[in-house]
Amino acid sequence: MLLFWIIALVVIAALVVAGFIFIPAALAAVTPQNFAASASVGDFVTVTIDHLLKTIAYVNVTNGVTGTVTYTINKDGTYDVTDSTGNITNALEIPGYQIMLLMNKAGPSANEQALVVGVLSDSTTITASSSGEYNYMKFRTSNGGFLSGALVMTNGVMINTGFSSLSRAVQPAESRDVAQTGSANVSAHGTVVVTLPAVVSSNHIVPRATAAITTVFASGNGFLTIDDDAGSTICMKQAGGAAFSASSAATYTALFYSKPDVMLSGGTETGAILVGKCSIVVTAAALVTVTNIVTNAVMFSGTVTPFSSDTSIVGSSTGMINNPCNGLFRFTNSTQEFVITFFGKSILFGSVNSVSSTEYSYFYGAGLSL
């Protein structure tokens, strides 16, 4: 029997070396692991991954959909999911770090596709672990798909100012006071539910006619996430400087959400929705190439520059983003906008290609370098 196990281990090791079995480098993390996640339609989702059983258990707290699915690991590090209900199709994870899912039954009626991005649950207080400056992207399934910009958190108060790549305009700032809830309201999975009061416009903070509920959660490794009915805001700690760092050059595997042929009428977007996997190659010269893994079609290719280099967007004047957004990069021409931000092994990205104000396409996503 001992000889059998020795031979089995040798065979398994050989298969791993040959690449027939993929094992993520961080898989030594404790299992199971819990993640708090946000969907681009505004759903709050909790996820538990058991690496030994190869299962993903999820609870969509917003619409009540739950399930446990199994998965297999691909050589590119993504998970192919077997889900008899058809809800979860793909996943991507760095154990102990971050999780991404493609979900088909999101939204209040459990019939919308969405990208779900989560971070490792952390029961420490939001204010204690998360003060600082972040770059962020807000993922939505309408209104051009995404916003990007800066969020600053000081003494539990978060103020973020974003840029719409569709309208090419800076958005009014938003303010959230996490500290008002107190540390006692931090749940076991590291979230704080904040009821934002109705406010009038003050100091260029966006007004709210009625109170709004927002779920905020963080992890100790540089992520902060805000979930509300307008979408999912994923924040990454800013870099030390504005210049592109060659250390970000890598090949990333990502999950994306896309609307390739939007027609806007009466404020409503119509058109097909595509979700899938893409490869993102970033060179030391900041050339970014996004390729659909299934079709091999190039979704974007261009050289990005620091976000702060556009002084019509970033500056100290009223109506501008008053933060350099170090680590956030942008490509722009007459028809296309592309934005990407880096933090460790993670990226967030988005692109809009406009024909007119009512006819455009966009995609956005999140990826990891394994």
**SS3 labels along 19-36:** CCCCCCCCCCCCCCEEEE
Task: Tell me, yes or no, whether 316 lies in a domain.
Answer: no
Query: pLDDT of 334-358, one tens digit each?
Result: 999 999 999 888 899 999 999 998 9
Cα distances from 4 to residues 9, 10, 16, in angstroms, run 9, 10, 18
103 with 174, same domain: the answer is no
What's the CA gap between 255 and 242, in Å, rounded? 26
User: What is the band of 194 on the pLDDT scale with cuts at 50, 70, 90?
Assistant: low
- Whether 213 and 194 have beta carbons less than 8 Å apart is answered as yes
| Confidence (pLDDT) at 34 | 86
So what's the pLDDT on residue 189?
Answer: 47
> Which amino acid makes up residue 221?
N
What H or E segment, with its residue span, contains residue 102? strand 98-106
- The stretch 81-105 carries a mean pLDDT of 90
Give the C-alpha separation, 294 to 289, whole Å: 15
In whole angstroms, give the CA distance from residue 38 to residue 213.
Answer: 14
Residue 345 parent element (H or E): none
- In this structure, are residues 93 and 49 in contact, taking their beta carbons and an 8 Å threshold? yes
Compute the radius of gyration of the chain from its Cα atoms. Answer: 21
Domain that holds residue 162: 126-237
Contacts of 180 (CB under 8 A, 6+ apart): 156, 194
- Matching residue, tokens 């691909």: 74
> How many Å apart are CA 63 and CA 69, to the nearest integer?
18
Does one domain contain both 271 and 348?
A: yes
The encoded tokens of residue 239 equal 């870099």
What is the chain's mean pLDDT, rounded? 82
Residues 259 and 360 in one domain: yes
Question: Is residue 154 in some structural domain?
Answer: yes
Q: How confident is the model at residue 124 (pLDDT cuts 50, 70, 90)?
A: low
In this model, does residue 295 exceed pLDDT 90?
A: yes
Answer yes or no: are the C-beta atoms of 304 and 288 closer than 8 Å: yes
If you average pLDDT over residues 234-263, what whole number do you get?
A: 94
Which is nearest to 90 in space by CA: 234, 292, 277, 345? Answer: 277
- Kindly tell me if the per-residue pLDDT of 130 is higher than 50: yes
Residues 116 and 130 in one domain: no
Shared domain for 197 and 256, answered yes or no, is no
Quote the distance between the C-alpha of residue 6 and its chain's center.
Answer: 43
Question: What total of structural domains would you count in the chain?
Answer: 3
Q: Which of 207, 237, 267 is the last residue of a domain?
A: 237
Name the domain boundary from 101, 120, 139.
Answer: 120
Domain boundary (218, 237, 256) is at 237
Q: What is the CATH number of the domain that holds 210?
A: 2.40.128
Same domain, 200 and 253: no
* One domain, residues 339 and 229: no
pLDDT for res 370: 72
Q: Residue 80 in contact with residue 72, Cβ under 8 Å?
A: yes
Residue 73 above 50 pLDDT?
A: yes
| Closest to 144 measured CA to CA, from 253, 262, 249 | 262
Same domain assignment for residues 212 and 296: no
What pLDDT, in 10s, does the model give residues 6-56?
344 333 334 333 444 444 444 444 568 888 888 999 888 989 999 999 999
**Same domain for 53 and 158?**
no
Contact 365, 19 (CB under 8 A): no
